[in-house]
Structure 1
Amino acid sequence: MTKSEWSATNHKKMELNCKALYIIFCALGPDVYAKVSSYESAKEVWDKLEVIREGTNDVKETKIGLLNLEYENFKMNSNEDIKSMFNQFSTIVNQLKGFGEEISEDKLVQKLIYSLPESWDSKKTTIIEAKDLK
C-alpha cells in the first residue's frame, strides 16, 4: 500500500509514531541513540531501550535477586558515617523500586535501624522505645 492509499487512521498512527520517536530520540545520549536509531517504530525503540537498561527477563531477575541479597545483608560498616550508610541504603532501595519491587516504609525503617552496628545499640534502643516503628 502506498502512502497516498493510507486512510486517515493510518496517517494519524504514523504521525503519533513520528512524534513519539522524536521525543524518545531527544531524550537519549549519543551512545544510546546510535544503538536504537535504525528502528522505525517507537515501540521497537522502547523495547530495545528496556533491554539496554534492564537486560532480558533472565538478566532482570538475576539483578533483582542480587539486589535483594544486597538488601538483606546490608549492614553499616564500622568505619562508615551515617550519611554514607544511608546513601548506600537508599541506592539499593531505589534500584529495587526501579525494578518494581515494593518494600513498605515500616520494613525500610526497621532494616535501617537494625543495620546499625553494636556501637549504636543505646541509640537504637532509644529510637525503638521513643517511636512506634509501625
Structure 2
Amino acid sequence: MHGPYVRRMIPEPGDPDREVSVAETFHEQNDKELTEKEVKQMEADDQAIQTILMGLPEDIYADVDSYETAQEIWLHVQQMMKGSNIGIHEKKAKLFNEWERFTSTNEESIESYYHRFSKLINDFKRNKHFPEKIASNFKFLNNLQPEWS
C-alpha cells in the first residue's frame, strides 16, 4: 500500500585529515544495518512481486517484468486491464471477420488450408467462442478448391 522499502542513506562522520574538510559523507544502508521490520517489508515486496507475476498472461507479463516493485507492477497491470474489455470485443470482431472471409487460396495445398482452418478454430476456442460443429464443417467443405472435390 505504501510502496516498497527504500534503503536509506546513512550519514558517516567526515574525515578531519582531508585537505578539504567534509562534514559528513553518506552510504546506502546495507543488509547488516536493516532492522527486522525493514527486512520483513523487503521480503513481503519480493513475495508480492512473485505472486503478481505468476498470475499474469504472457503478453502482460512481458510488459511488466522489468518493474522493480510490486506497487509499480500492480499499478501498470491495473492500467493495462482497464482496456481489456475493448480488447475482447476487438478480438471477437476480428475473429468473426476472419471467419466470414475464410477461403482457400489458389495453388494452396490442402495441408496448408487445413492448418489455417484449424488455427482459426483454435483461436475461437481460446477466446471462448465456439462455432457450431455443422457450421464449421460446411465452412471447411464449401471453401475447398474445385480440384479437391
Which category describes the TM-score, using the shorter chain as reference length? Answer: 0.5 to 0.7
Q: Which has more radius of gyration?
A: 2
Q: Secondary structure at the match of 1:101?
A: coil
Quick one: which of 130, 133, 143 aligns to 1:105?
A: 133
Partner of 2:121: 93
Quick one: which of 4, 10, 21 aligns to 2:52?
A: 21
- Structure with higher strand content: 2
For 1:75, give the aligned amino acid: T
Q: Secondary structure at the match of 2:136?
A: helix
Matches of 1:92 and 1:37 in 2, distance apart? 38
Do residues 114 (structure 1) and 142 (structure 2) align? yes
1:96 positional shift? 1.9
- Structure with higher helix content: 1
Instruction: Tell me: CA distance 1:43–1:32, structure 2 relative to 1, closer, same or farther (3 Å).
Output: closer
Contact in 2 for aligned 1:78/1:117 (Cα 8 Å): yes
Q: Give the number of equivalent residue pairs.
A: 106
Instruction: Tell me: CA distance 1:78–1:99, structure 2 relative to 1, closer, same or farther (3 Å).
Output: same
Contact in 1 for aligned 2:64/2:77 (Cα 8 Å): no
1:113 positional shift? 0.9
Quick one: which of 59, 73, 82 aligns to 2:110?
A: 82
Contact in 2 for aligned 1:39/1:45 (Cα 8 Å): no
- TM-score for both structures, normalised by structure 2: 0.50
Contact in 1 for aligned 2:48/2:70 (Cα 8 Å): no
The RMSD of aligned alpha carbons is 3.9
How many percent identity over aligned positions? 19
CA offsets 1:72-97 (integer angstroms, 9 cap, x no match): 21111121111111111122221222
Instruction: Tell me: CA distance 1:37–1:72, structure 2 relative to 1, closer, same or farther (3 Å).
Output: farther
For structure 2, the 5+ residue unaligned runs are 1-46
